[in-house]
């Protein structure tokens, strides 16, 4: 690895010592050195100071006025959405008109489904008077 680096350095040194590279180095040395005009620098500093103060003013307005206003409007919008949301109430029961067993079955089904939607019941348990009741026994038809 060092041998390759040494060979590369020697090749680069030869290229830098060539006549074309020496001529470019002489041309760069002969270029006149410009001094920055102090009046121009002063004007530039004044323009930068004005631009910085305007940016600081914008940040001040954004941080102290616009952000709180945006937060308050968002909170107000959420409040209005919550207030104007749907009211929770029991769904209307549907009655199927007409005499007959069909109407009675449909009415019973709808009443039962409304009851389950409002307050779902636990599985029905056949509790006997004795204290040895086990809801998970094999003898219990409603057990799990």
Residues 81-100 have a mean pLDDT of 69
- Cα angle 115, 120, 122; round to 5: 125
Number of domains in the chain: 1
The model's pLDDT over 30-78, given as tens digits with 9 standing for 90+, comes to 888 877 788 888 999 999 999 999 889 888 888 898 899 999 999 999 9
Query: Does a structural domain hold residue 130?
Result: no
CA distance 29 to 114: 96
Whether the per-residue pLDDT at 89 is higher than 90: the answer is no
The whole domain housing 51 covers: 7-81
CA distance 98 to 34: 106
Query: Does a structural domain hold residue 17?
Result: yes
Query: Does a structural domain hold residue 105?
Result: no
pTM: 0.30
Whether the per-residue pLDDT at 105 is higher than 60: the answer is yes
């Amino acid at each position: 690895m060092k041998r390759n680096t040494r060979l590369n350095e020697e090749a680069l040194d030869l290229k830098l010592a060539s006549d074309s590279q020496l001529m470019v180095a002489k041309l760069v040395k002969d270029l006149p050195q410009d001094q920055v005009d102090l009046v121009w620098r002063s004007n530039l500093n004044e323009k930068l100071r004005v631009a910085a103060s305007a940016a600081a003013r914008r940040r001040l307005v954004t941080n102290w006025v616009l952000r709180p206003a945006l937060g308050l409007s968002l909170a107000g919008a959420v409040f209005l959405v919550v207030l104007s949301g749907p009211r929770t109430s029991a769904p209307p029961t549907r009655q199927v008109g007409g005499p007959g067993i069909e109407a009675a079955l449909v009415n019973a089904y709808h009443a039962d489904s409304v009851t389950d939607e409002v307050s779902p019941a636990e599985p029905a348990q056949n509790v006997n008077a004795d204290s040895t009741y086990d809801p998970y026994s094999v003898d219990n038809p409603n057990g799990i």
